[in-house]
């Protein structure tokens, strides 16, 4: 299935309340639109090296890493996570189905074993300070103790309501939480159990929360040809994206503004271009933010500009634009690593 946010569940009645539940309590998201694959064998690392520039050979079993998928010239195509599940096996999750197809094809070329597991599982996310308390009643005391000690960007297998589940401590909201990979035939039962203690939330809330946290959405932020350093993700790439035809250099910033368009599930028009002059802002994401009490967005501006530069949107959809800290919420990014309540 192509990644089309307009086809996702938008909300469960009140997107703002769903986002607030995530920040203050716990929310439950269905991220089963993600694609998932696995590769195994003595050269599984070589398969991933053909697809991802970030080194992965030093990952220990149980580690998760955020990675980028880049074109040959280094411009960004998608972001994904790699989960090391044993000494010769990695799992990959991406919103871009092509990444999993490429994983399977490259593995075949190198004589390794890879499968597309997308249809075999569902991916749920518990996000918010009460995530552990929401899942704990579905765990045995032993499994609850194991999960309580799981560190950020680590994964493990456990039994949730007697169902084997892979769980990772990470998320897309800037909050403490978990992502769960659940067998498809048990998904309804697991969702129902979690929903007794966590508020179901749709993609409007997820989009709002990730913008507040400064996270990219590949179908928005990567619609322009940009390199990892321009998005603030240079630490996850060894590629050196440069093209004299795309100069001058840009950077992704956060902003508040007034909008003349509907910003729920906002996506940039296909005609957008990299900014060429100081003050031009190419808007890629926007939402009605609970934290900002108004429109909050992400967009590209020239990196070299005067301090206090005023911004304008060439498309005329946003006015009264003000540059703010990215991430807008929890700028020191301490909350995802915080202790359980």
Domain range annotation of the chain:
5-206, 214-324
The pTM for the full model equals 0.96
CB contact at 8 A, 136 and 150: no
Name the pLDDT band for 270 (thresholds 50, 70, 90): confident
Mean pLDDT of 174-190: 98
pLDDT attached to residue 183: 98
pLDDT at 203 over 70: yes
Lowest mean pLDDT among 25-29, 146-150, 198-202, 308-312: 308-312
Sequence-ordered strand ranges (E) for 131-262: 155-160, 163-168, 177-183, 199-201, 250-259
Give which of 190, 197, 244, 201 is closest to 73, Cα–Cα. 244
In this prediction, residue 341 has a pLDDT band, given cuts at 50, 70 and 90, of confident
Those residues whose C-beta lies under 8 Å from the C-beta of residue 31, and which sit 6 or more positions away, are 123, 124, 125, 172, 179, 206
Q: What is the rounded average pLDDT for all residues in the chain?
A: 96
Q: How confident is the model at residue 336 (pLDDT cuts 50, 70, 90)?
A: very high
pLDDT band at 243 (very low <50, low <70, confident <90, very high): low
pLDDT-derived band at 55 (thresholds 50, 70, 90) equals very high
Q: Of the given ranges (224-228, 271-275, 305-309), which has the lowest mean pLDDT?
A: 305-309
Contacts of 199 (CB under 8 A, 6+ apart): 12, 17, 18, 21, 25, 26, 27, 28
- Domain topology for 5-206: Gyrase A; domain 2 (3.30.1360)
CB 37 within 8 A of CB 102: no
Q: What is the pLDDT of residue 307?
A: 83
* For residue 169, pLDDT beyond 90: yes
Please give the average per-residue pLDDT across 52-68, as a whole number: 96
- Sorted by sequence, the CB contacts under 8 Å of residue 68 that are 6+ apart come out as 52, 53, 54, 76, 78, 79, 80, 228, 233, 236, 237
Residue 93's φ and ψ, nearest 5 degrees, are -125, 130
Is the CB of residue 301 less than 8 Å from the CB of residue 307?
A: no
Question: How confident is the model over 251-269, as pLDDT tens digits?
Answer: 999 999 999 999 999 999 9
């Amino acid at each position: 299935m192509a990644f089309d946010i307009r086809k996702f569940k938008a909300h469960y009645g009140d997107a703002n309340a769903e986002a607030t539940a995530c920040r203050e309590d716990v929310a439950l998201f269905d991220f089963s639109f993600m694609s998932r694959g696995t590769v195994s064998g003595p050269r599984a690392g070589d398969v991933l090296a053909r697809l991802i520039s970030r080194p992965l050979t030093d990952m220990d079993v149980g580690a998760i890493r955020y990675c980028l998928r880049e074109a040959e010239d280094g411009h960004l195509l998608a972001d994904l996570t790699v989960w090391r599940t044993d000494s010769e096996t990695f799992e990959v999750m991406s919103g871009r189905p092509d990444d999993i197809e490429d994983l399977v094809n490259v593995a075949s070329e190198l004589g390794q074993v890879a499968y597309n597991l997308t249809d075999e599982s569902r991916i749920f996310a518990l996000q918010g300070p009460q995530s552990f308390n929401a899942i704990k009643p579905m765990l045995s005391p032993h499994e609850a103790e194991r999960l309580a000690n799981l560190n950020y960007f680590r994964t493990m297998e456990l039994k949730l309501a007697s169902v084997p589940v892979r769980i990772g401590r990470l998320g897309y909201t800037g909050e403490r939480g978990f992502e769960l990979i659940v067998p498809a035939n048990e998904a309804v039962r697991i969702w129902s159990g979690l929903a007794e203690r966590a508020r179901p939330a749709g993609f409007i809330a997820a989009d709002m929360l990730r913008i507040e946290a400064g996270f990219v959405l590949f179908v928005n932020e990567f619609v322009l040809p940009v390199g990892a350093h321009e998005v603030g993700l240079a630490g996850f790439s060894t590629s050196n994206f440069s093209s004299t035809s795309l100069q001058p250099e840009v950077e992704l910033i956060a902003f508040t503004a007034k909008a003349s368009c509907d910003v729920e599930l906002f996506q940039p028009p296909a005609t957008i271009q990299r900014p060429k002059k100081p003050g031009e802002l190419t808007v890629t994401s926007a939402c009605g933010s609970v934290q900002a009490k108004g429109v909050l967005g992400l967009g590209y501006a020239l990196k070299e500009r005067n301090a206090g530069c005023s911004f304008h949107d060439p498309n005329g959809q946003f006015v009264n634009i003000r540059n703010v800290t990215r991430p807008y919420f929890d700028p020191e990014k301490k909350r995802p690593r915080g202790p359980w309540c």
